[in-house]
Amino acid sequence: MSEAGTYDAIIVGGGHNGLTCGAYLARAGLKVLVLERRPIVGGAAVTQEFHPGFRASTFSYIMGHVHPKVIAELELARFGLEHLKMREVLHPLEGDDAIIFSTDMATTQAEIARFSPKDAEAYPQFFADITKTIGVLRQLLLETPVDPAERSWGAIKDIARLGWKYRGIGEEVYRVTDAMTQSAYDFVSQWFESEEVKALFCYWAGIGNFKGPRGAGTAYSILFHLIGENGLGFARGGMGAISDALAASGREKGMEILTDAGVAEIRVAGEKVIGVVLEDGRDFSAKLVASGVAAPVTFGRMVKRADLPEEFMAAIDRWRGKGECFKINCAVDRVPQYRGYHTPRAGVDYPAYAHIGPTIDYMERAYDDAKYGWYSERPFVSPIVPSVIDDSLAPEGKHVVTLSGGHAPYELKNGDWAQEKECFVANVFQVMDDFCPGFTDSLIAYEAYVPPDLERVLGMPGGHELHGEVALDQLFFQRPAPHYADYRSPIRGLYQCGSSTHPGGAVSAVPGHNAAREILKDVKRLI
């Protein structure tokens, strides 16, 4: 390829959403170039060797959110994507016990019954109710957000069309409202009496969310993390296999990918996009550019503030995107031995996925430490052992364990992560030793990431794993800014296709899919 050129469409950022958007546009016959700052594509969905013989999903880790529509339409299975499914999540408790959450209802009911027969009886209704609510949210994933403030005839028709489409949701509107406004604790307390059972479901409320389970609006996080349609499981070969399959699908249709190609500027002339300039000075032209990088990077940095409306930039400046999650990738010589799993249940596999957050108070205190500007003394932790079902990640007899959770706030009050990171890692390992005796003795090597590391490596401002908080005021028609949640922007020909847009973070490929659909609606008047 020449040092510079002209394309129908340029995709800024080769994360999984950028690759998805590019692959769809290439399949529609456009000449597409994807530009990625790093030496590898995938963004947060990559697999890398972090110790000789040990490979981990460096950042993201669960495949369940990747949308089945994208998997089918881009033929990702044909390009090597394989889903290794799990059935259980282990939830260790304080003391020598644990609850198993299973995809098999009878197994979960039996586990819950050990703590409350009444809760076991209530579980099927709870499952049925949230399944209906999640079903509504799954439909919304593929919608383009409307602009409720727009008064043009076209916008009014779009709002009416959306309202008519969802006219039959009935009682679910109340459940969605509850999820958006209630605390996770209050939400699950409508069904359950046991504190152990409540903690089982409230754990999801803290993942990627800088709040405790008693915080208003955290109920939505439970649904957000259960919304994936693929169920529990991993991509064989790690999350990089998803990005590799997306890249291969696009390349088959002519999509070009250029790595080590950081974009310095998205060029604008007369309120229209005209191309991009790379950090090394190379210049590429296009009448259509889609950015998969975080909104605060696209707008105000790559696109000059002077080229954007003040009201729009004020909304981008208000964007809350300071992360609080950590990731530690560990090479070990044996799988973690959970105290609460010393007697495996009949028909239950070794728990490749666990949640260590035994009580509501435990998780709330982890947040209390962080809300005052420090990291959690006792973090909640999600240990994952993908090598139990994927032998491609570690040498025979050895394993990869990834640890994530919270809270590790981006900014420390009167402290610096350069000095404090290893102290925080020690806190995480202490929790692991408490719930998995001997874990640190099994360590061969590890690498650790806190939010400033995610910012530095991935270019996510604030190091937020979801590109920004998934909160009521940063969802649907307000993500990332009012009037521009439809994947378009104030610049003609410039689109957004990353996790800063609806429906938000997680490796779903939905923002890339939806953005490509909107681009193809406009393409005839752009090219």
pLDDT, tens only, 242-256: 999 999 999 999 999
pLDDT of residue 156: 61
- Are 242 and 233 within 8 A, CB to CB? no
**Is the residue at 270 inside a domain?**
yes
Residue 293 has pLDDT above 90, yes or no: yes
- Are 370 and 409 within 8 A, CB to CB? yes
**Is the residue at 301 inside a domain?**
yes
- Tokens at 228, concatenated: 């994936």
**Is the residue at 290 inside a domain?**
yes
| Alpha carbon distance 230, 237 (integer Å) | 17
**Is the residue at 266 inside a domain?**
yes
- Tokens at 434, concatenated: 């408490």
Give how many domains the chain has, as a whole number: 1
- Tokens at 395, concatenated: 């040498």
Handedness of CA 479, 126, 115, 352 (dihedral sign): negative
pLDDT of residue 527: 78
**Is the residue at 447 inside a domain?**
no
Q: Judge if the upstream peptide bond of residue 407 is cis by omega within 30 degrees of 0.
A: yes
Helix, strand, coil percentages (3-state) for the chain, rounded to 5, are 40, 20, 45
pLDDT of residue 1: 36
pLDDT in tens, 129-181: 888 888 888 888 888 887 776 656 565 666 566 665 655 566 667 777 787 78
Taking the C-alpha atoms of 39, 503, 450 and 198 in order, what is their torsion angle to the nearest 10 degrees?
-140
- Tokens at 39, concatenated: 């030496």
Helix (H, G, I), strand (E, B) or coil at 42: strand
**Is the residue at 72 inside a domain?**
yes
- Which is nearest to 194 in space by CA: 351, 340, 360? 360
Q: What single string gives the DSSP state of each residue in 272-299? A: EEEEEEETTS-EEEES-EEE-S-HHHHB
Span of 13-27, 86-100, 153-167, 509-523 with lowest mean pLDDT: 153-167
More confident residue, 95 or 344: 95
Residue 402 has pLDDT above 50, yes or no: yes
**Is the residue at 289 inside a domain?**
yes
pLDDT in tens, 424-479: 999 999 999 999 999 999 999 999 999 999 999 999 889 888 888 877 777 788 89
pLDDT of residue 161: 67
| Alpha carbon distance 501, 498 (integer Å) | 6
Residue 41 has pLDDT above 70, yes or no: yes
Residue 352 has pLDDT above 70, yes or no: yes
pLDDT of residue 361: 96
What confidence category does residue 492 fall into, taking pLDDT thresholds of 50, 70 and 90?
A: very high
Q: Mean pLDDT of all residues in the chain?
A: 91
**Cα-flanking dihedrals φ and ψ of residue 84, to 5°?**
-100, 110
pLDDT in tens, 201-256: 999 888 877 889 999 888 888 888 777 777 778 999 999 999 999 999 999 999 99
The one-letter amino acid at 143: E
Span of 140-144, 237-241, 340-344, 494-498 with lowest mean pLDDT: 340-344
C-alpha dist (Å) from residue 129 to 123, 126, 192, 223, 363: 10, 5, 13, 11, 25
The one-letter amino acid at 95: G
C-alpha dist (Å) from residue 14 to 33, 244, 298, 464, 514: 10, 11, 14, 18, 16
Q: What mean pLDDT comes out for the span 66-72? A: 96
More confident residue, 466 or 406: 406
What confidence category does residue 2 fall into, taking pLDDT thresholds of 50, 70 and 90?
A: very low
N residues, the chain: 527
CATH at 281: 3.50.50.60
Q: What single string gives the DSSP state of each residue in 206-252? A: GTT-SS-TTSTTTHHHHHHHT--SS-SEEETT-THHHHHHHHHHHHH
- Are 474 and 498 within 8 A, CB to CB? no
C-alpha dist (Å) from residue 224 to 104, 308, 359, 404, 467: 21, 32, 21, 17, 15
Burial of 473 (0-12, 13-18, 19+ CB in 10 A): exposed
**Is the residue at 313 inside a domain?**
yes
* Percent with pLDDT over 70 in the chain: 94
- Are 27 and 253 within 8 A, CB to CB? yes
Enclosing domain of residue 314: 5-48+57-82+236-318+462-526
- Are 308 and 515 within 8 A, CB to CB? no
pLDDT in tens, 78-117: 999 999 988 889 999 998 899 999 888 999 999 999 999 9
| Alpha carbon distance 181, 358 (integer Å) | 24
| Alpha carbon distance 249, 228 (integer Å) | 22
